[in-house]
Structure 1
Amino acid sequence: MFDRLDMLEWQLCQRTAGLSIHRPWLSTLKISSKLGDWPIWVALILALPAIHGRDIGLRLMLEYTVTAVVAIAVYKLLKTRLCRERPFITFGGSIQCNEPARDRYSFPSGHTMHAVMFCTLVAVHSPALLPWLLPLAGLIAISRVGLGLHYYSDVLAGAALGYGMALASLGLSSTTLLIAASH
């Protein structure tokens, strides 16, 4: 399945990764990717009590942390079962890797999954943060292709997975609150 998709996406990924010859753009992609590793999301989680007050903030901290841990488990399960080679591996000479890869496989994009997941949670709980987080999430997503680490479909799948995980979390947390309120 991925062989055919790889060939369809190859030229677009090659063009996107080729833009990394411009140093300012490459620096932007690398910084975005590093922030998307974990620092920005940990900072967001730790800031929740300051944003929402102690009680609500601690509940949201727990919700965001549990959601992230479950998302990582699902992501790793998918990644190790589907085994899609990264574009710089499949198309070695034509797509350059501009950042060390943690592993051999690309599907789905975990960086994008987290970016979309946290933006979705923030849209519900702290929408005033979205003007800051949405551009960063976009840069994180494009950095994955621009650095030669992912295909566009990896990024789209990561975004869908992150959105789904956030919706599941929001659904569970609202159900839990309704049950607690009824007792």
Structure 2
Amino acid sequence: MQAWLRHLNELEVSVCRLWSRSGQGRWIRYPFALVSRLGDGVFWYSLMAALPLVYGLNGLQASLHMLATGSIALLLYKSLKGMTRRSRPCHHASDITALVPPLDQYSFPSGHTLHAVVFSSVAIYYFPVLAWILVPFTTLIALSRIILGLHYPSDVLMATLIGLGLAYASLSAFA
């Protein structure tokens, strides 16, 4: 597995260099750092707290569904990170700088992206009107992880696919 990941790292590192360089300017770095910080959980927990206040019992059901699915996503992504142990781009190449401190050591998959996709998908299922804010926000979170030098594009892509699959499975089972 490690040899395959090293090869994949070499294929993707040039994209990471380019995107990381684009994030060096303050006008890019600060907004993407803020989006990434909000994706740490601040935005999602605030949304889960607000949904019952705005939508009553249906909002509570959606929030509990988001919380349950997010918990499964946490266990899944921590397991995958422990199994793959893929180095982050900023640790793989000395010319890629982490523009914010990473929350953990490994890169694959992007936990921020995985949770953003899961939370957004579940919330939009219950309240389609939220798509106009959640889809762009989730996209910005995914992009921020590459621009900030923390993830490879495949980390973000696979996290998106895993998140969509997990959200779909949870909606099929619980909604």
TM-score normalised by the chain length of structure 2: 0.94
Q: Alignment partner for residue 48 of structure 2, among 17, 24, 45?
A: 45
Distance 2:64 2:119 in 1: 13
Distance 1:41 1:166 in 2: 15
Q: Which residue of 1 aligns with 2:61?
A: 59
Q: Deviations over 1:10-65 (max 9, x none)?
A: 11110001011211110111001000000111011112213322x22222222111
- Quick one: which amino acid aligns to residue 139 of structure 1? L
Distance 2:61 2:47 in 1: 14
How large is the RMSD of aligned CA atoms in angstroms? Answer: 1.1
- Quick one: which amino acid aligns to residue 73 of structure 1? L
Shift of 1:123: 2.3
Describe the SS at the equivalent of 1:3: helix
Q: Identity over aligned residues, as a percent?
A: 38
Q: Deviations over 1:102-129 (max 9, x none)?
A: 2221000000001111221122111111
Q: Which residue of 1 aligns with 2:84?
A: 82
Distance 1:24 1:107 in 2: 27
Residue 112 of structure 2 contacts residue 142 of structure 2 at CA under 8 Å; is this kept in 1?
yes
Where do 5+ consecutive residues of structure 2 fail to align? none
TM-score normalised by the chain length of structure 1: 0.90
Q: Which residue of 2 aligns with 1:32?
A: 35
Count of paired positions: 172
Where do 5+ consecutive residues of structure 1 fail to align? 175-183
Distance 2:134 2:83 in 1: 31
Q: Deviations over 1:107-156 (max 9, x none)?
A: 00000001111221122111111111111111110110111000000001
Residue 23 of structure 2 contacts residue 29 of structure 2 at CA under 8 Å; is this kept in 1?
yes
The higher radius of gyration belongs to 1
Distance 1:138 1:31 in 2: 14
